[in-house]
Amino acid sequence: MPIDHAPQYIAAARFAAMMGDSLATFYRRLSGGYFPPPIRFGPRAVKWNLATVSDYLAASERVGRLLKRVEWEAIQTAEARQQKQTARTMRTSEPSNRIRHDSRAVEVSA
């Protein structure tokens, strides 16, 4: 059975339900600078990537409060930078990437 890796998108009503908010409260918080930006599917249709929403809610839970969009984006940037640094460290510590010294004997003519 093939696994579907296509991104899933949710509407504002489902996002609000995940937060335990009414739609009015959700939209008030959205206009107040909270939540990740939506993806526009048409002139009046917007949705959110479910994985992004889950990441946002997890980060908010770790902090203990709802994060503003700019705070969440800063956390995402810092995490991406950390992952890049970790990958770079792992890459340079692999045996195949270590500096190898030339161990050939050099002939000296007398």
pLDDT value of position 48: 96
The pLDDT score that the predictor gives to residue 88 is: 78
What's the pLDDT score for residue 35? 94
Q: What is the CB neighbour count within 10 angstroms for residue 53?
A: 20
Do residues 91 and 83 make contact, with C-beta atoms less than 8 angstroms apart? no
Note whether 68 and 33 are within 8 A (CB).
Answer: yes
Give the Cα-Cα-Cα angle 6, 11, 58 (nearest 5 degrees).
Answer: 75
Beta bridge partners of 47: 39
Residue extents of the structural domains in the chain: 9-92
CA dihedral 6, 7, 11, 13 (to 10 degrees): 100
pLDDT by position in tens, the chain (length 110): 566 678 899 999 999 999 999 999 999 999 999 999 999 999 989 999 999 999 999 999 999 999 999 999 999 999 889 988 888 777 665 555 555 555 565 555 65
Can you give the pLDDT at residue 85?
85
Spell out where the chain has E strands. Answer: 9-10, 39-40, 46-49
